Amino acid sequence: MRIASVAGAFPDHFYSQEQLIEALKGFWAKAHYNPARLERLHQNVLVGGRHLALKMEDYETLETWGQANDAWIRVAQEVGAEAVLGALGKVGLEPGDVDALFTVTVTGVATPSLDARLVNRLGLKPSIKRVPIFGLGCVAGAAGIARAADYVKAYPGQVAVLLSVELCSLTLQRRDMTIPNLIASGLFGDGGAAVVVVGEEHPLAREETASSQTTPRPAVVDSRSVFYPDTEGVMGWDISESGFKIILSAEVPQMVTGHLRQDVDAFLSHHGLSRADISAWICHPGGPKVLSAMEQALELDEDALAVTWKSLRQVGNLSSTSVLLVLEETLASCPPAPASWGVLLAMGPGFCSELVLLRF
């Protein structure tokens, strides 16, 4: 199985962190909140700017969860279509070539689901297999690649597409003055990404074809899911009449330092590898404390997660989409040497980890 291509897509509206801080300070000042504290929290997440699903002034018109979710359905189709077409176009495929579409999100709900709404919009074939996945959160980008690879392992001549769309700004709770919500309002951004995964019998997976490309087409060698019992309260959503209310525990970095090293070592040892054999670490940018914990747990030098840190600074944390953007940038700008090894990983609600072993 090979990752044939990756393409990110974003809403048109981009704002610097300073613009967003000023807008939120103006709003929360009405609630008698300390604006200096908000500014300090937002500066500490080290995000330089973020894309938003809507123009900044349009958020004031969202009075209900239903209105926010309607906006999610509309913008998710626009961003999702752009991402899928971008990923297919990179390798000369058409929408009708796609055999299975996996969609992941944690920021909006729809029935028919997003994948169904893209069938007519993109001209996907009526026989396409659709697998909408909701609720995995930040881990879903890595888990989605793993599940798409599982699919083409069973159907080695077929094409699977993973689509992640996260519009985190539409989940903002404007009456929630808790620290997790204030941090989330400065950390999370909006966007999407699509990944084309092909089975080993597909022409795009042939060794001579894959190895001759300027942009690598890494093989998905294996994946592993790890669930940590009794950790459901570490991260997630509380669902209420006002929508998605963030659960973001201070324990998240502790989950990284307490579990990630042993999980990665066990996974790699199954293939006769160690962390020293890994040339590329493609990690989800959960936030500064999470990334520092990853560096500590995996004993990485300061350059190992440079692409991940860059993604955090440029667009923020996009939940499941982020690790796919890091993958896209890694393949385009700093491709690993042929035959080298890589690990793509993310952690998320459950609490859990998803590890994907790549061969370039």
Q: What backbone phi and psi angles, to 5 degrees, belong to 229?
A: -60, 145
At residue 131, the 3 state secondary structure works out as strand
Report helix angle 306-315 to 288-298, nearest 10. 170
Of 138, 168, 283, 352, which one is the catalytic site residue? 138
- The string of DSSP codes covering 72-106 is HHHHHHHHHHHHHHHHHHHTT--GGG--EEEEEES
Nearest to 291 by CA among 107, 46, 51: 46
Distance from C-alpha of 329 to C-alpha of 138, rounded to nearest angstrom: 18
- The secondary structure element, H or E, covering residue 344 is strand 341-348
Distance from C-alpha of 219 to C-alpha of 222, rounded to nearest angstrom: 9
Q: What backbone phi and psi angles, to 5 degrees, belong to 252?
A: -55, -50
For residue 232, give the DSSP letter: T
Nearest to 193 by CA among 4, 7, 3: 7
Locate 281 and state its tokens. 């670490």
Is 283 considered catalytic here? Answer: no
Nearest to 330 by CA among 216, 219, 220: 216
Nearest to 189 by CA among 6, 7, 14: 14
- Annotated catalytic sites, by residue? 138
